[in-house]
Amino acid sequence: MLTGLRRLWPDSLFTQLSLILVIAGLAIQLMFSSIWYDVRFGQVLEAPARLVIFRTVNVMRQLDEAPSAPLPTSDTFHVERRASPLPMTAQLSTAQKNVERLLQDALHREVGDARQLSLVDVEIRDENGQASTWSSLFGLSPVVGHFNFQLRLAPNQWLHVRAVQPHGWNDRPAWEVLGDYAMRVYLLRALALIVVALLVARLSTRPLRRLVRAAAALGQDIRQPPLPVEGPKEMRQAAETFNAMQQQLIDLMGERTQLLSAVSHDLRTPLTRMRLRVEGIDEALLREKLIANIDQMETLIASLLDSASQGAALEGHAVFDLSQLINEVASEFVDTGSDVRWSGSSPATVCGHAPSLRRVLHNLIDNALRHAGNARLSLQTLDDRVEVAIQDDGPGIDEARLNEIVQPWQRGDTPTNAGALGYGLGLSIARSIVMAHQGRLRFSNRESGGLRVVMTLPTRAS
């Protein structure tokens, strides 16, 4: 049962707060229904109570004029004199106490002096004598009050009264009465609660939504403006912490880039001198091996610099045709004699950093050429995204390593040619750029052999 309730419970904090406020408000309304019952009980008996007191005062005046006169006795009004009060067997409820105050107030208005009056019992019944408290309170049946009370006439002289007094009732249809009650008491209050709950939840979650948007935008532009420090104390603390974290990331990335730039500068100078000296070696085989080693070191330095700068903000976002960009990149490879096939497609408008996406396409195509010697490109435009597929006829990648291939220092090449194919940073950089564009990079093996890489980017409208 608890599992079912958890499934029904909304996942959104905004909806949860709204629902909690509405449920709490309605629960409080139900708790206050007991107060309504007590008040309503006295309201429907107000007129019968005054009529009973009016008849009782007439009897009191008759006794003042003729003490030995017989007292009225009937099915609806029975009076008897007593030398002592009746014992009170049970404590009165709140509703009954309200009726007792009605009787005392009516008696005081009629006789002018304070007389001791105590209620023994009071009930609401229908015209057939059957208990019908709730239907009478809602005005669905006649109200007939059954009163049992006593009042003090003089020392050692009490008057005990039992009276049945009907009250006029509403002849409106039951559904109309209940509908009107539900409308005014519950529906209108529920609507008011919903409006208040939505307003409170929206105001409460607005700083949190702003924090979520800022956290999502941090992956695209780490140098975005800091969050405004406002709202409740907890949200101000969260904003301050987020701003401090953002500044720490900016400082850390700046220090990393500066460090690697300095290292690369210091390394390239001796590498240049080494290349000049190596080129003077007479033995051709040794000279070629040393030059190849120097080239690998320079490639590693360039890859490290690219990796260091991959988290920097991609400035200059603009709307452009991705299909045209693919055509330009593919043409560059074709001009160098590479087996790259691109049949073209209809325009696909996206918003992003064109130079960075050009770099992604270049890395993916170059990766396919290195491993398979060919690359086939296609583009598909969907409702809210565009998908670019790069396929090859190579050996593919072990299924167990598909999720690792985009990690830094992971390579998809075989041990026999690993030394000549880079250092495993190109795909990691490509994934970071695609993610900065709110896109996705997926790798899968083709059934007919080879690797399929799909770059998904949101369209301009999204």
The alpha-carbon radius of gyration of the chain (Å, integer) is 45
Cα 77 to Cα 439: distance, rounded to the nearest angstrom: 88
Task: Please determine, for residue 372, whether its predicted confidence score (pLDDT) is greater than 80.
Answer: yes
Q: What is the pLDDT of residues 383-430, one digit of tens each?
A: 888 999 999 988 888 777 776 665 554 554 544 333 333 435 567 778
Q: What confidence tier does 297 reach under pLDDT thresholds 50, 70, 90?
A: confident
Domain boundaries, given as residue ranges, for the chain: 45-171, 234-309, 318-458
In the prediction, which pLDDT does 228 show?
84
* Percentage of the chain exceeding pLDDT 70: 76
Q: What confidence tier does 305 reach under pLDDT thresholds 50, 70, 90?
A: low
Cα 456 to Cα 24: distance, rounded to the nearest angstrom: 45
Pair type for strands 318-321 and 440-445:
unpaired
In 3D space, the residue among 298, 292, 311 whose CA is nearest the CA of residue 263 turns out to be: 298
In the prediction, which pLDDT does 418 show?
37
Report the range of poorest mean pLDDT among 67-76, 112-121, 156-165, 228-237. Answer: 228-237
In the prediction, which pLDDT does 306 show?
62
Average pLDDT (121-143) is 74
Residues 136, 142 contacting (CB under 8 angstroms): yes
Q: What confidence tier does 116 reach under pLDDT thresholds 50, 70, 90?
A: confident
User: Which stretches does DSSP call E strand in 105-210?
Assistant: 117-125, 143-154, 157-167
Mean pLDDT over each residue of the chain, to the nearest integer: 78
CA distances from 65 to 60, 115, 150, 329, 449 (A): 9, 19, 20, 121, 121
Residues 346, 423 contacting (CB under 8 angstroms): no
In the prediction, which pLDDT does 409 show?
45
Q: What is the pLDDT of residues 55-111, one digit of tens each?
A: 999 999 888 888 888 888 888 999 999 989 988 767 888 888 889 999 999 999 888
Question: In DSSP terms, which residues pair with 144 in a beta bridge?
Answer: 125, 166
Cα 29 to Cα 86: distance, rounded to the nearest angstrom: 39
Match 């270049």 to its residue by tokens: 362
| 342: helix, strand or coil | strand
In the prediction, which pLDDT does 169 show?
54
Entry pTM: 0.44
194 Cβ partners below 8 Å, 6+ apart? 18, 22
CATH 1.10.287.130: does it fit domain 234-309? yes
Cα 102 to Cα 92: distance, rounded to the nearest angstrom: 14
User: Could you tell me which residue, 126 or 71, shows the higher pLDDT?
Assistant: 71
User: Could you tell me which residue, 292 or 147, shows the higher pLDDT?
Assistant: 147
Cα 141 to Cα 128: distance, rounded to the nearest angstrom: 11
CA distances from 447 to 42, 214, 392, 450 (A): 84, 41, 12, 8
Pair type for strands 374-381 and 339-342:
parallel
Q: What confidence tier does 434 reach under pLDDT thresholds 50, 70, 90?
A: confident
| 25: helix, strand or coil | helix
Q: What is the pLDDT of residues 6-21, one digit of tens each?
A: 666 676 767 777 777 7
191 Cβ partners below 8 Å, 6+ apart? none
Average pLDDT (283-293) is 82
* Percentage of the chain exceeding pLDDT 90: 16
Average pLDDT (242-254) is 83
In the prediction, which pLDDT does 426 show?
66
Q: What is the pLDDT of residues 22-49, one digit of tens each?
A: 777 777 766 666 666 666 777 788 889 9
Task: Please determine, for residue 337, whether its predicted confidence score (pLDDT) is greater than 50.
Answer: yes
Question: Cβ-count burial of 72 within 10 angstroms (0-12 exposed, 13-18 middle, 19+ buried)?
Answer: middle
The gap between the terminal CA atoms of the chain, to the nearest Å, is 40
Average pLDDT (113-123) is 87
What is the rounded (10 degree) CA torsion for 196, 197, 203, 206?
-150
Question: In DSSP terms, which residues pair with 350 in a beta bridge?
Answer: 320
425 Cβ partners below 8 Å, 6+ apart? 303, 304, 306, 307, 408, 409
Residue-wise burial string across 326-341, b where 16 or more C-beta atoms lie within 10 A, e elsewhere: bbebbeebeeeebebe
CATH superfamily of 318-458: Histidine kinase-like ATPase, C-terminal domain (3.30.565.10)
| 278: helix, strand or coil | helix
Residue-wise burial string across 37-56, b where 16 or more C-beta atoms lie within 10 A, e elsewhere: ebebbbebbbbbbbbbbeeb
